Amino acid sequence: MPDNKRSGFSSAAGLIQYYDMEETRALKINPYLVLSFGIAAAILVEVLNWRLT
């Protein structure tokens, strides 16, 4: 095994690589916020559907 930790584990002839490092530049969103927006959007659609029919 290589001593270099940045090389990661390769499989499928090098087509897929798994890295031990976590991406620090990625946008991080709280899962509860996503769930809240989904529920709010569903309620909004149902209310608009009820009011417009």
What CA–CA distance (Å, rounded) separates 50 from 39? 16
Q: How many domains does the chain have?
A: 1
Please state the pTM of the whole predicted model. Answer: 0.52
- pLDDT tens, residue by residue, 5-41: 555 555 555 556 666 666 678 788 999 999 999 999 9
Q: What pLDDT score does 34 carry?
A: 96
**Domain, as residue range, for 33:** 25-53
Radius of gyration of the chain (CA): 22
